[in-house]
Chains A and B, each alone.
Chain A
């Protein structure tokens, strides 16, 4: 696959790993956070941590838009889907996320019409095909996905579709990063910056991290060589005493972002005064809702949404894992009460959450892994 395979080639990885190791100051530990769930996924999927020296630790950030949706909002969505003559459409990511009464999958088994789609445009298609039903789209995602929802709503408006609406749960990345930076119990040395979010918002929004907090940021692509190179660039900045925003993902990310996308978002949506993030609590100006001009496409206006706040179970330590303070295995319920099959909290709920990624891909004795390789016949 072009633009993918070249950035997965192992031979260049060793060189980068050697360079990274050379830049490590003896006796010093380095902690970098990758914000994006997709980066967490790549790191685990390709076994990237095997290339890093012991001095470098990767901390997994809160960039999983599915993980941060509070249980109460999942309940709200299922309530919407259960209304008569209603079809809920959703990305696959949401299907197993448990609310307080079960997940979309559970609701589907009980007869609720919930359908998986690849694109919000597919929801429009379903709406056109079923004029007698109300079609609701469960909109989730950071700024990468928000423009697609906005464009879909604009299209629905242009077509005069009367039976389509959006249950908007889009969130924004910068407030989450700021919450991490302001957290007293965390000391990070730099950020592997979001890749695809940056195609929309550009690199400027991260400048405050370098300027006000003095932490280097490298906006990274999603292939393993992209991430390794980004770690190399972070180490280079640190060794040279710089703290800047650099763009490693230049083949896709324009420094100024995508104006058309930002315009579409701005036309259709506005920032909520505050929004609850599972594990992080209430954060101001961190999520989107539909503007009043688009009320006829806003599921929260068209339907009666209960809006009950459901607290996370007491045993859940997701907040600390999300902020990188705890490693997944340091959580008291990790792997016992809380597993991918029976997830208690947000970090285990989505396959990209730090705990799920670690449980599914990484929970091995790395010392033993090296022995295995050496003992191969």
Chain B
């Protein structure tokens, strides 16, 4: 139910717009993008692949936001650790 892998769309098949070629770290497979017909992916966009179908587009902005949040928490933690270390020296 769960194995979904991000892949980059590298091309739409010319005679079959429902099918796209995706690349996952150099591995290529033709998948069906029919479930994204309302907003079809174009080369360069990333999709979530599950059993040969694209279930969703990967929202790069949201991914960046998620990473930023994690970064922020990480930084705050690092700052605290630093503060702690400093206070120990004193």
Contacts and interface: CB of A to CB of B under 8 A. Distances in A.
The reply to whether A and B meet directly (CB within 8 Å) is: yes
A215 interface: no
Given A4-B6, A141-B1, A222-B2, A151 B74 contact: no
29 contacts: A1-B25, A12-B70, A12-B71, A15-B73, A15-B77, A15-B78, A36-B2, A38-B2, A65-B1, A119-B51, A121-B52, A142-B1, A144-B2, A144-B50, A144-B55, A145-B1, A145-B50, A147-B35, A148-B53, A151-B53, A196-B1, A196-B2, A199-B4, A222-B2, A229-B69, A250-B59, A252-B4, A260-B37, A264-B35
B66 A251 contact: yes
Interface residues of B, number: 41
A19 interface: yes
Contacts of A148: 32, 50-53
Nearest to A122: B52
Interface string B35-53: 1111000000010101111
B76 interface: yes
B36 A15 contact: no
Contacts of A254: 56
Interface of B: 1-6, 8, 24-25, 29, 31-32, 34-38, 46, 48, 50-53, 55-56, 58-60, 62-63, 65-67, 69-71, 73-74, 76-78
A259 interface: yes
Residue of A11, A64, A194 ringed by the most chain B CB atoms within 10 A: A11
Given A11-B74, A118-B52, A196-B4, A250 B69 contact: no
Contact of A119 (B8, B35, B53, B69): B53
Given A147-B53, A199-B55, A121 B32 contact: yes
Nearest to A66: B1
A259 B35 CA distance: 8
Nearest to B57: A252
Interface size range of chain A in the complex? 35 or more
Contact of B4 (A144, A260, A261): A144
Contact of B36 (A65, A195, A250, A260): A260
Contacts of B5: 4
Interface in A4-29: 4, 6-7, 11-12, 14-16, 18-19
Interface in A263-317: 264
Contacts of B56: 199, 252-254, 258
Interface of A: 1-4, 6-7, 11-12, 14-16, 18-19, 36-39, 41, 63-65, 91, 118-122, 141-145, 147-148, 151, 194-197, 199-200, 222, 225, 229, 248, 250-254, 258-261, 264
A332 B31 CA distance: 45
A147 B52 contact: no
Chain A CB within 10 Å, residue with most, of B46, B58, B63, B70: B70
B66 A250 contact: yes
Nearest to B52: A119
Given A3-B58, A39-B2, A148-B50, 16 more contacts: A2-B6, A6-B63, A12-B70, A12-B73, A15-B70, A119-B51, A147-B55, A148-B32, A196-B55, A197-B1, A222-B2, A250-B66, A252-B48, A258-B35, A258-B36, A260-B36
Nearest to B19: A121
A359 B36 CA distance: 39
A37 B24 CA distance: 23
A7 B67 CA distance: 8
A261 B37 CA distance: 10
B26 to A, nearest CB: 10
A260 B34 contact: yes
A196 B46 contact: no
The CB with the most chain B CB atoms within 10 A, among A37, A119, A251, is that of A251
Contact of A251 (B53, B62, B70, B74): B62
Contacts of A12: 70-71, 73-74
Given A12-B73, A18-B77, A144-B1, A200 B65 contact: no
A259 B36 CA distance: 9
Nearest to B56: A199
